Each structure stands twice: as C-alpha cells, then as structure tokens.
Chains A and B, each alone.
Chain A
Amino acid sequence: MIHIFRNYLLIPLLLLLAGFGIATYGVLFPTDTLVARVLTYENVMLALQQHMGLMFVSMFGAIIVGVLVGIMLSRPKLYYLGRGVENVVNVGQTVPSLAVLALFFTILGLGFRVAVFALFLYSILPILRNTFAGIIAVPDSIIESAKGMGMTPYRILTKIELPLAFPIIVAGIRTAVVINVGAATLATFIGGGGFGDLIVTGLSVGRTMVIVSGASLAAVTAIMLDYIVGKIEESIVKWA
C-alpha cells in the first residue's frame, strides 16, 4: 500500500496540491482589486478547461498520425523517403512555436480549431521521428530470426518491432506533450484560450501575480502529464 502510494501517487498529489495552492492563493489573497477581478475560480477553471482541450485534441490526433506515418516510413520500400522526412522533421522542429501559430493564423484565421490544428502539426514531429527511429533501431538479427522462423511482416511489426520501439515512441510522446502544453499558452494570441489568457491579461494590466499564476499553472500541468505518460510506459515495459 505504502509502496503504491510512493511509486504512483505521491508526486501527482504534490503537483495537484501545488496547482491548487497557486490558484487558491491568487484568488484568496489578490494584491489589489484588478487582480481580484481577473483571478477568479471561474476564470482559472475556464483557462484550465481550454488548455486541456487544446492539448488533448491536438495530442490525440498527433499520436495517431505520427505513429501511423512513422510506421509507414519505416517499411523497407519507403525507407529512403523516411530518412528524408526525418531530416525535414528535424528542420521543422527548429521553427519557433509562435511562428507556427502566426503562420496558421494568416492562412486559417482565428479560433480554438486553428490553435488545435497548429499544435497538432507541431506535436506530430517528435512522435513521428521517434516512431521511425525506434523501429529502424530494432537490430537486424532480431528481425531476421523472426523472419526465418516464419513470421509474416504484419506479425513482425506488431509482435516484434512495435513492442521494441515502444519506449522510444513513448519518449517522443512525452517530448510532444511537454512542448504542446508550453506552446498552448500561445494559443491566446489567436483566440484559442487557455492559461495563455491569464499570462497575456496579466501582462496588459501589469500585474505580476496574474502572470505568475498562469505560467506556473501551465508548468505544473506539463510536469504532471509528463509524469503520467512516463508511469504508463514503466508499467508496460517490463523487459528493459
């Protein structure tokens, strides 16, 4: 019992407490009336909801597309294309997230959906790259002995390649989650909402307390999600 608590629950509980503490402190002890008007439970909850919405919808799509495309590119026939795409992805990753949002704003306009789409594209990259790299990294000797024993290509993919690449794919997902939660704070500029609203409002009214509340809540969310994905991986991968 204590074992489960220490291994799985302690850190999420501390993080929840921290997030709750930050929000409550801001609401209960505002430095002035302006802060009190911005930092209400309703506003914080709304920002959290929007932020989670942005994150979950875009991550859901990014995981599906990233993993599927990664698998496709790792097939022997597309291998060289895969190497090319890997390079493009690496370059794509260096484009600042703000620029990505701005770019889609000019093409698609404002709103939650546009923000989700930009985040989705931005999160695909690490997942796709890691899926491809993880499958490619499976030693040839393992693939050959599977093939030599009569496994079909589909069985080799599902029974050998994907399970062995799983830790690397999950590492990509973790990277994507952290980037995603951070970049989602920028969604406010194109009307996507989220904790970014708090930060930008804080900036425009010149109240540090509001800025810090928004920023630290976003940070706590990122750490929490990273931790959860990591624990899921740990409980699935028993062989390493």
Chain B
Amino acid sequence: MIKLENVTKKFPGMEKPAVNDLNLEVKKGDVCVLVGPSGCGKTTTMKMINRIHEPTSGTIYVDGEDALKMDPIKLRLDIGYVIQEIGLFPHMTIEENVATVPNEKNWPKDKTKKQVNEMLKLVGLDPEVYGNRYPSALSGGQRQRVGVARAMVSDPPIMLMDEPFGAVDPITRARLQNEFLRIQERIEKTIVFVTHDIDEAIKMGDSIAVMRNGNLIQHSTPDELLSSPKDEFVANLVGRNRSIKRLHLIRIREILEEVDRAKPAPEDMPLDDIKKRVSDSDIRSVIVVDNDNKLKGVIGVSDLKRKTGEVAADYMNEIEQSITSDATLNDALSVMLEAGEGYVAVVNEDDVYQGTITLGDLLNVVKEDS
C-alpha cells in the first residue's frame, strides 16, 4: 500500500541527511509504527508520504502509484492526517473542523453533515452536544478525538498520525489508544503512526520500524522486536523488562475465556449461597451484578463478617475501577496496582460484567511466553 524506496531527505544547510536511504513497506490494513528518539527522522519520513516534505532522492509509492508524480493536493485529500498539536482550526466549530476535507472535495451538504455526525459518534462525541462548540471549549482528550475524526471523515484508505495521543494524560491516552484500536479493527486503514514511546509502539503496531539518526534499524512485528532485537540500540530502546512489555501485546478478551472463575452473584442472592460462592472463589471474593448483569460491587470474606444483612446487596462494597475487555493486560496490571487488589473486574462498554482477571492470570501469560 505504501512503499518507500531508497528515500533520502536532506534539509538545506544540514550536513547529515535527516532520512538516509530508507526502504520501508507498509501492507494494506496494517498499522506501521515509526519509533525512535527525537531527531531520528521518523516524523520527516512520515511527512514525505503526503509530501509536506519532498524527498531529496528516492521514490514513494502510494497504492501502486508514484506519489512524487501526483498532484500533491489530490494525494493529500485521500490521506488522513493527524499531527501532534492536532491543529484544530480555532475559528471553526467542531462540525466545521471535521467537515474540512469534505468541503475541499465539494461534497453535497447533507452527505457531509451525515458523515460528520457519524464520525463524531464513532470517536465518542455526541454531535448534538459538541458539534457547535469551538475547540477552545473542549478538553485535551476531546480535541484529540476531533483530530482523529477530522482525519477519518472522508474514509481515506491511508492515515498518517504523528503522536496523535501525545498531548494528553496517561489515563486518557490509554483509553484513546484502546478506542482507536477498536475502530481500526473495523475500518482496517493502512496507518503510519509516529511515536517516541516504545510501549505505545508495541501496543498499536502490526509492525514496528525502529529508526536512529535517519536510518531504519529494524522493521519487524512487535513480537519479533521483543524476542530478537537486532542490536544493542534496539534492545536498549525496548528495555530490560521485555516480559512485562509483552503484556501490551495481549488484550484482555484474548485470555478471558481461558480463565475459569466463580460466577457473579446476583444482588438478591441469600446469605448462605454467598458464603459458599466466596469460599469457592480463588480470590476469596465474589462480584455482584444486577438483573441486567451490570457490575454492581464486590463482596470479600471480611465483608461477610463485618456487615450484616439478608442478601448480597447488603454486604457489597463498591468497585472502584473496572476495565473493558479490549484493554491490554498491561492496562489491567496498572489498574490492579493502583487499586491495590489482586484482581480487576472486566466489563463491556455498557458496564455489563464479562469476567475477572487476576494477577495470577498475568503471571501465567508471562510464564508461557518466555
């Protein structure tokens, strides 16, 4: 889908080339993450694909065509583009911002409107609420979402993303990453994704291209990168705790079926049954759900002694944090560590209980892999 052949970029007045004789191929539907320290040429490489920077030499093919011979305006209209600063237009409403590319393509008004609303919904922003606001009235995370919606609105086959989740706090970033992966699973765009964060690269990438001083050092799957780094530089970048990093690679739903856990207790379960459930459970506690199977709380052994009552709802404690099944095992680990518990309840987007993951499950995964 995207192919770079012997691409070199030398900026005027610079002695060394920013990108040096680079060869890279990204397959259709894949997320290729360019990763490396700042100044390694990853952003320059990405920006040559839509010709924000023109290569000094070499060829770039986009969908089989020589991109350097195409009209740059036409090329860019079919490549979604998100940059780190997002670059929302402050004088336009969210709706107008997202409608940028359709307007450049002269789409009919009602088609644009429909597509813009759909996109805003896809990234989790209600068009009724946010459509007419200006970017200054949005939080950092919401702006990132708008940036992604704006890049995807005309359904371009290719997206270029330069640290699109860079400017938000870690919790919001993890959520945005998970949402994005869920969307990507459905739309299967070919994506070139730039980041300096190796954890993000491992989590997001189908393939990872490690760059240094303008050279491509290693281009492989995340698994390969972790198991056989090509040289010391890559090994250092990936870090020592590689087995922990593997937790980034696995989503909770992938192991959720394998773990066998006690069934959740309905709210109105009588005391005797709860006692049995709790003692049967390997985490000495049991999750409580309501009639719609939505997560309500948790009962531990100590709760049964401390509190009194007839049914499950009387003994239950609130659950502080749960996690969705498309989060990674690493996300699950950090939630457990934060909550100081050895388990975390897994729910879907509608808060319906899916299962429980324990610290032991994570240990098993790491053991199996190494």
Q: Taking beta carbons and an 8 Å cutoff, which residues of A are in contact with B?
A: 139, 141-142, 144-152, 155, 160, 163-164, 237-240
Contact = CB atoms under 8 A, between A and B. Distances in A.
17 contacts: A141-B85, A142-B90, A144-B87, A145-B81, A145-B87, A146-B100, A148-B50, A148-B79, A148-B83, A149-B77, A149-B81, A149-B104, A149-B150, A150-B77, A150-B101, A238-B134, A239-B136
B70 to A, nearest CB: 12
A164 B89 CA distance: 9
Given A141-B85, A142-B89, A239-B91, A151 B104 contact: yes
Size bracket of the B interface: 20 to 34
A141 B76 contact: no
Interface in B252-305: none
B2 to A, nearest CB: 15
B76 A145 contact: no
A151 B52 contact: no
B101 A141 contact: no
B361 to A, nearest CB: 42
B85 A160 contact: no
Given A144-B52, A144-B83, A149 B100 contact: yes
Interface of B: 50, 52, 73-79, 81-92, 100-101, 104, 134, 136, 150-151, 160
Contacts of A146: 87, 89, 100
A151 B136 contact: no
A240 B50 CA distance: 31
Contacts of B79: 148
A150 B105 CA distance: 9
Contact of B87 (A142, A152, A163, A238): A142
Nearest to B78: A150
Contacts, number: 68
A160 to B, nearest CB: 6
B77 A239 contact: no
Nearest to B136: A239
Most chain B C-beta atoms within 10 Å of own C-beta, residue among A145, A146, A160: A145
Contacts of A147: 52, 76
A239 B90 contact: yes
A164 B50 CA distance: 25
Contact of B83 (A145, A150, A164): A145
Nearest to B83: A145
Most chain A C-beta atoms within 10 Å of own C-beta, residue among B52, B79, B84, B104: B104
Contact of A149 (B74, B76, B136): B76
A146 B82 CA distance: 10
A144 B78 CA distance: 16
Contact of B86 (A145, A151, A238): A145
B73 A163 contact: no
A202 B126 CA distance: 68
A224 to B, nearest CB: 28
Most chain B C-beta atoms within 10 Å of own C-beta, residue among A144, A160, A239: A239
A148 B76 contact: yes
Contact of A150 (B74, B89, B91, B150): B74
A193 B195 CA distance: 67
Nearest to B72: A150
Contacts of B82: 145
B100 A151 contact: yes
Contacts of B76: 147-150
